Amino acid sequence: MALYQFLWGSTMMIILLSRGCHSQQPVCGQAVLNTRIVGGEDAPPGSWPWQASLQNDGSHFCGGSLINNQWVLTAAHCVPDINLGTVVYLGLQSLPGLNLNVVSRNVSMVIPNPSYGLPTNVNRYDNDLCLLKLSAPVNFTNYIQPICLAAENSTFNAGVESWITGFGITDNGTLANILQEVMVPIVGNKQCNCTYGGITGNMMCAGVPAGGKDSCQGDSGGPMVIKQGSLWIQSGVVSFGQGCGLPNIPGVYTRVSKYQEWISRVIAGSNKPGFVEYTSAGVDSDQFFQCPTPPPPTTPDGGSVFDSGESMIHFFRFPSLCLLVISLYVLGGV
């Protein structure tokens, strides 16, 4: 009888864990040191324990997120700069100086989404997602934890508050010395498409009408996250944008929930990431949105006509394409 009770209790615990996280990894999205409720400033140590910094020769070029003890999620357009010498840093609080909680690993495998960059894509930035396997597993601490990933049926209504983090360009035009955080609301795809044209269902957007809060060059591959109950869930991956923090110009992110099947297939075995379904409350106002003017026309390859222009530039939030590097564009006082 005692054995039966033990087995029954264990079974119930497994069921309860599986309901909250659709994977064999029972814990994800935990940030015990995170007490932040506002953004646009230095992130306290341990607030975003899944944040990764991708570096070559000590120089940060892209962000990423830890999704289990040996895999990092980033953007596919970061791949050209990833090589055998690339180092992934976890638990990193500042780029210069001493980081007592940092752990580093080399990259042993690079797997971009196979649909990224296809000429048949509606938008050349579609499927901007990549998985990196670390050279060895990492141990979890208060400063290093995996993020939960949005499951395939997740919904993100316009206005839902989200957080973006990174070490990229700030308002003074240089890399952030300390990890930055900022809160931005989701902008629905219909409204976002009015700005860009060619926004697909594999993308999502976020920003504030007044501008000043945004991801920027070098934040590419970093996470956009949302809190549900006690869990943090990654909804997006920093992908591209037109400028940084411009009024009525949201940033564009790869929609993580569209890739549950691909991520699970790549990361085979018992240590799959935790997928959690995020459900927005209420009605999504974006379904009623109508563009005040027609969206910008697209070129035959699906890109906006100002993709390569001088005054209106679509660019990846990535240094090698615009001679800039990673973080959040946060204007003074935000």
* Domain coordinates in residue numbering, the chain: 41-288
Annotated catalytic residue, options 23, 47, 126, 128? 128
- 301 catalytic residue (yes or no): no
Instruction: Over range 195-201, report the average pLDDT.
Output: 94
Q: How confident is the model at residue 12 (pLDDT cuts 50, 70, 90)?
A: very low
Instruction: Over range 233-244, report the average pLDDT.
Output: 91
Annotated catalytic residue, options 22, 60, 77, 314? 77
Q: Name every residue whose Cβ is closer than 8 Å to that of residue 92 and which is 6 or more positions away in sequence.
A: 51, 52, 53, 99, 102, 167, 179
Which pLDDT value is given to residue 48?
95
Q: How confident is the model at residue 33 (pLDDT cuts 50, 70, 90)?
A: confident
What count of other Cβ atoms lies within 10 Å of the Cβ of residue 172?
8
pLDDT, tens digit, 9 for 90 and up, residues 70-100: 999 999 999 999 988 999 999 998 888 788 8
Q: How confident is the model at residue 39 (pLDDT cuts 50, 70, 90)?
A: very low
- B/e letters for 244-271, b = 16+ CB within 10 Å, e = fewer, are bbbeebbbbbbbbbbbbebbbeebeeee
CB 88 within 8 A of CB 134: yes
- 22 catalytic residue (yes or no): no
- CATH topology classification for 41-288: Thrombin, subunit H (2.40.10)
- 220 catalytic residue (yes or no): yes
Instruction: Over range 215-222, report the average pLDDT.
Output: 82
Distances (CA, A) of 306 to 75, 201, 206, 321, 324: 22, 21, 21, 15, 20
Q: What percent of the chain has pLDDT over 90?
A: 54
State yes or no: pLDDT of 327 exceeds 50: no
Annotated catalytic residue, options 220, 235, 257, 304? 220
Which pLDDT value is given to residue 142?
94
Which pLDDT value is given to residue 229?
92
